[in-house]
A = this chain, B = another copy of it.
Amino acid sequence: MAMVTLSEVARHAGVSLATASRVLNGSARTPAADIADRVRAAATTLGYVPNAQAQALARSSTSLIGLVVHDIADEYFASIAKGVQRVAADRDRQLLLAVAGSIHSAAPEVDRAVTAFAAHRTDAIILAGSRTAATDAVRSRLEAYQGRGGRVVTVGQSWVPGAAAVRIANREGMAELVAALAADGQRRFAYLTGPDAALATVDDRLAGYLDGIVATGAESVALIRGEFSMAGGHECGQRLLEQLTSTRRRPVTVLAGNDVMALGAASAFAEAGLRIGLDIKVAGFDDIGVLTHLSPGLTTYRLPLGEIGGLAAELAMDPELPDPAPVTGEVIRRASA
């Protein structure tokens, strides 16, 4: 990386290093117009690109934001990441991305990511959905990072003391979804969810489901746990079917902890010859983009994922900002329920 250097530009323009710096890299005090022009011309001629590393060192601020997500190939996280990146780019921040991997084995990876981000002196670290992967090591690392002036933002819930948070009204949203369907005359529900205590989101949504059942007086005929993924949903759907056949029968509305689980379950039902929305009803949560044109449409609770990412980025860049109110969404009724 033998790039052109500021001093080369300065020499070429016949000015001092300081002047070149002031002209090129923003400073309140811009030198005289003719000098400024000469410097800019020299920079263009030589193809000067400022060295962000050196600037970071001199300014002790990097304009870097670190983002940790569970799985970037999961549209939920990808949409959040997209929102973060968009808002960050608008304000000339670069995004350092780390993927934490599976829910269960994520701890060491989150630790590695946080350590790497700290080493790169990112101005902020945004954590999306890795609460339970946070071992004591991670927590103390985050605390040290904050103690040194680093900014931490969590997405989903607030779980790092002193950090900012974009909370999501998962619990209220799921309860609202149950209420909307119950109001529609659907009175028998089953719930498919992820592993216990693995992800706070899983727990919150389950609690919301139970709230909804209690509030509406509807019946909950089954609660099935599996992987918090499409494959998990498929498998849970199959297990649910066995259970329904052997004990209580349909009709039933199957709610899942997120859209991909719902999709997986729906495919299991379809494979068993059931017609979604007629023989069995299904609803998800999140409203990931791929639902937009799927047939039959999946009823769900729409979360403004991109906006959530954007809010996280704003909190990351502006330490003065107070935490926003928990982000809510809306029930989206489609053919499936």
Contact = CB atoms under 8 A, between A and B. Distances in A.
Interface of A: 1-3, 47, 49-54, 56-57, 60-62, 71-73, 75, 78-79, 81-82, 85-86, 89, 92, 94-99, 109, 112, 115-116, 118-121, 123, 144, 148-150, 230-231, 233-234, 260, 263-264, 266-268, 270-271, 289-290, 292-296, 306
Nearest to A60: B1
Contacts of A150: 1
B72 A82 contact: yes
Contact of A270 (B123, B296, B306): B296
Contact of A2 (B47, B99, B115, B148): B148
Q: How many copies does the complex hold?
A: 2
A258 B116 CA distance: 36
A144 B4 CA distance: 11
A47 B270 contact: no
A270 B3 CA distance: 57
A231 B263 contact: no
Nearest to A62: B53
A53 B57 CA distance: 6
A270 B293 CA distance: 10
A92 B85 CA distance: 22
Nearest to A261: B293
A72 to B, nearest CB: 5
Given A57-B54, A96-B96, A121 B1 contact: yes
Contacts of A268: 293
A289 B73 contact: yes
B72 A81 contact: yes
Contact of A49 (B89, B118, B231, B270): B118
Given A1-B121, A263-B294, A73 B62 contact: no
A99 B89 contact: yes
B99 A260 contact: no
Contact of A293 (B61, B99, B263, B306): B263
